[in-house]
Structures are given as structure tokens and as C-alpha cells.
Amino acid sequence: MMERLTRLIRQLPIKWKLMLGATTLMFLLFATYNFSQYLVLKQWMMNQEKDKIQVSMAQLQDFLNEKSNTMDTLLITEARPYIEKMIGKNQLVRIIGKNGEPLLTVSNHFDENWVTPRTVEAPELFDTTHQEDHILIYRSPFITTKYVGTLEFASNLETFDHFSHTLFWVMLIGGVLAVFISAISGLAIARQLMRPIRALAATIRSVKEKGLTERVSNIENGDEISSLAQLFNELMNQLEVSFRQQKQFVEDASHELRTPITILEGHLSLLNRWGKSDPEVLDESLQASLQETRRLKGIVEELLTLTRVETHLDSEINEPIQIEPVIQETLKRFEVLNPEFLFQVNTEKMRDALVSISPLHLEQILLIILDNAVKYTMQDRRIVIVGQRLINEVQITIEDHGIGIPQDELPYVFDRFYRVDKARNREIAGSGLGLSIAKQFVYKYQGEINIRSKENEGTTVIIKLPINQIMK
């Protein structure tokens, strides 16, 4: 039974849980508070009534003591006017003789038969009920020289009862109202709280059904739940972008791979048809096929490098190294391969800067850029390399005086497979992946790469890498 109830509560929507919790808490608080307040008040009022009756008793005893020398059975009637004066509404006063016989009874709105006269040895004070009525009785032995008996006071606690009843009802109704109000407001608050969550859930559902373009709409700024929705939207944006990029990449890659494969296929069928008998065709087609195969291999290798940098497969932490010797070394080897070029190198100023980078990656970046500088230069074969130390970074600039890049194409040269003006580039081999690989590497090391160029004047590539520390 209990188990079933807890399971039922656990399955309730959060809205109802919150409401139920608030209401129960409110009920418990109100019930304990009101009940104890009621008890304390009632006790206090009862004590007041008892005090009053004790004071009256003391006054009467004083009066009788004063008169005691004259008092006897007959003269006891003398006390009547005094008692009539002091008695309150709903009260009874009795003077009782030694054998329990009432000598004098005075009452005010009080039925004598409700209390039977009785003598006592010691004072007694208690409350009893008579049918509907609540009666407080105080009896006290009273002894003077001529008289031995009991004084009896009774008081009908009508007003007291009436008051405590009213109090009880006021508190009960107040409590019920409070619980009711807290239930309603708890429900309202819960509904308010749940609205963004429900919107979020609805969006997630529609993402599942309709795809990545769905977003949570009208987020009210403010609380944690709406920032959760915000976060979800941002996550979806990122997902959508990277999804689109991935798709673009696959499309570009398969397109780029198709060209050399088509050429290969053409040469192979040429060979198949004529090559067996014609040694000239055989030679030419074999040469061309080999070249295309090499190109294919190059593209595949570059693609592999690119994905490897992107997925951070080799993301080990690098020791800070002096990069100046690495640059010198790379340049020396590159110079040997391109003897017709003039290299002007000035890297003095960055000699004492240490950068956390893998020397192999740095070399790869430099080779990609130097390769471009050489590839896209026709006449002025000067290449200027300058290394500088800025405040928190080193800057390497590589400047050529080649054909340059048109202004409106500059933003795209870092895109994969992007090549400026395919017609112009037809004679120059390349897959358009070099700069995007260089960019990935530089970004991996929290650096920056920029390109400045003017058509027919030259191109400058600027690389910035954060300095790890400076040699003493």
C-alpha cells in the first residue's frame, strides 16, 4: 500500500509534486502552530478564570472573618447583601454547614441544581461539565469560632467556552484557507517553472523528428532553466555548423579525388586499346598515369594530416622550445631545393623566445607557406623571412613578390580545396589543402595566421604564436 503510494507520487509530473510538497509543508506548519497556540491561549484563559474565582473567595473569607464574632446560623443572612453585590454573572456562591446543608445560596443566572453542596477538609479547585455547560468549582473549608463549614463558589464558563470555540474555528478556517492558497500558488509557481522545460522538451522532440534546424523559441532571459535552453540552442548551432562542414568536406574531397581518378581511367583505357602496340602511347600514358597517381597519393596524405590535426589525435603537451633554430634549419633545407630563389632571413630578435610547439608541426607550417611562395612566383624571386618578438607572442612573416591574390578571394584561401581562379592555376599543381592544414596547426597551438596580398605585387603571410617563456 505504502509502496504503491510512493511509486504513484514518484510518477507524478513535477508540477504536482511541487504543489503536493508545498501543501503538505504548509499544512504541517499551520496545524502544529495553530494547535499549540490554541492550547496555550486556552490554558491562559483558564488560569485567568481560576485567579478571578480565588480572589472572590479570598474577599468573601475576609468579609466573613470580620463579621465572625457576630455570626451564627441566623446572622449568616447578613452576608447575603454583600454576596449579592460581589457576585458576577453566571455565578453561584454557597455557604454550607457542618453536615453539608446549604445555609445560604446566592446565584446570578446560574441554576442551583447543577452543583450539589458538599463539605471539604481541604480547598479544591476544578472544572467539570454539566450537560453542555462547562463549570468551574472552588470549595474551601471555613472555620471561625462559631461556625465550621465550607464556602462554595461555582462559575459557568460560558463566555470562556464561547471564546475558545470561536478561536478554534477561526484557526481551523484560517488553516484550511492557507493550505488551499498555498496549493494554488504552488501550482501556479510550478507551472511557471515548468514552461521553459516543456518548451525545451518539445524542441528536443522536434529535433528528433524534423532535424537539426529546430531551436527553442522565445527564451525569457533570467533563470537557470532559460540558460539551459540557451545552451541547448548554442549546442545545436555548433552541431549544425560542424555537420554542414563535414558534409561539405566529404563532397569536396570526393570531387577532388574524382578528377585524378577520371584522368587515370582515361589513360588506362587508352593503353588498353592502343598502348599494347604503340610504344609512344604506352610511354606517354604511363607517365601521365604515374603523375596522377602521385597526385592522388598527395591529396590522400594531406587529407589524413588534416583530419589528424582536427581530431587532436596527437594532442600531447609540448615542451617549450627555441623556435629560431627550427626556422633556420627548415629554411636551409628549402634553399637547397630552390637554388633559383633568394632568401633574406632575419630572425635575430626572436632568438630567446620559447614556444610550446612540436618542431615537426612548425616545420610543416613553414614548408606549406614557403611552397606557396615559390609556386606562385614568376619573376621577382626574392623571399623575405622576418622573425620578431612581440609582448606575449612571436611573429613570423614570409613575404614573396609573386602573382598575389585578388582582394575578393583573400577570405577563402584558408578553405579546404580552395584555389584562386582555377584557370590561372591549371599549370601549377596543388590540391588547395595547404593553407587549411597550416591554419589548423596554428590554431591547435593557440596561434593566429593572416594573409595580406596585392595582385601582381606579392603576398605576405603573418604567423603569430604565443610565447611560453623567455630564456634568461
Which spans of this chain sit near Mg ion (rule: CB under 5 A)?
372, 434
The answer to whether the CB of 392 falls within 8 A of the CB of 466 is yes
Q: Which is nearer to Mg ion, 149 or 434 (CB)?
A: 434
Q: How many CB atoms lie within 10 A of CB 384?
A: 17
Q: Which residue is nearest to ligand ATP, using beta carbons? A: 434
Any idea what DSSP says for residue 341? Answer: S
Q: Closest approach of Cβ 247 to ligand ATP, in Å?
A: 21
Distance of closest approach, residue 254 Cβ to ligand ATP, in angstroms? 17
Minimum Å gap between C-beta 279 and ligand ATP is 33
Residue 275 or 432 having the CB closest to ligand ATP: 432
Residue from 93, 419, 441, 463 binding ligand ATP (CB under 6 A): 419
- If the CB atoms of residues 64 and 370 are measured against ligand ATP, the closer one turns out to be 370
Identity of residue 39: L
| Least Å from the CB of residue 324 to ligand ATP | 23
**Contact yes or no for 149/88 (Cβ under 8 A):** no
By CB under 6 A, is residue 413 in contact with ligand ATP? yes
Q: Which is nearer to Mg ion, 34 or 431 (CB)?
A: 431
Among residue numbers 299 through 318, which ones bind ligand ATP (CB under 6 A)? 302
Contacts of 415 (CB under 8 A, 6+ apart): 432, 436
Indicate left, alpha or beta for 51 from its phi (over 0: left) and psi (-120 to 50: alpha): alpha
Contact 173, 202 (CB under 8 A): no
Contact call for residues 459 and 404 (beta carbons, < 8 A)? yes
Determine which residue in the list 71, 76, 433, 465 makes contact with ligand ATP, applying CB under 6 A: 433
Considering only residues 9 through 38, tell me which ones interact with ligand ATP, judged by CB under 6 A.
none
Find the shortest distance in angstroms from Cβ 298 to ligand ATP. 7
Q: According to DSSP H, which parts of 271-356 are helical?
A: 279-310, 323-337
Interface segment toward ligand ATP; rule CB under 6 A; list 48-56, 218-226, 346-354, 419-427: 419-427
The three grid cell numbers given for residue 328, joined into one nine-digit string: 633556420
The piece of 87-95, 188-196, 276-284, 424-432 that touches ligand ATP (CB under 6 A) is: 424-432
Question: Segment 348-407, which members bind ligand ATP (CB under 6 A)?
Answer: 372-373, 376, 400, 402-405
Measured at CB, which residue is nearest to Mg ion? Answer: 434
For residue 354, the one-letter residue type is L
CA torsion, points 294, 296, 300, 303, in degrees to nearest 10?
A: 110
- The position carrying cell 561539405 is 248
Q: How many residues bind ligand ATP (CB under 6 A)?
A: 22
**101: region left, alpha or beta (phi > 0 left; psi from -120 to 50 alpha):** beta
Instruction: Please report, for the chain, how many H helices and E strands are present, in that order.
Output: 10, 13
| Cα–Cα dist 219/298, whole Å | 49
Smallest distance from Mg ion to CB 445, Å: 20
Q: Which three cell numbers stand for residue 248?
A: 561539405
Query: Minimum Å distance from CB 384 to ligand ATP?
Result: 12
Rounded CA gap, 219 and 167, in Å?
Answer: 49
Q: Which of 117, 149, 387, 434 binds ligand ATP (CB under 6 A)?
A: 434
Q: Please pick, from the candidates 430, 445, 452, 468, the single residue that binds ligand ATP as defined by CB under 6 A.
A: 430
Enumerate binding residues for ligand ATP (CB under 6 A).
302, 372-373, 376, 400, 402-405, 413, 418-420, 425, 430-436, 459
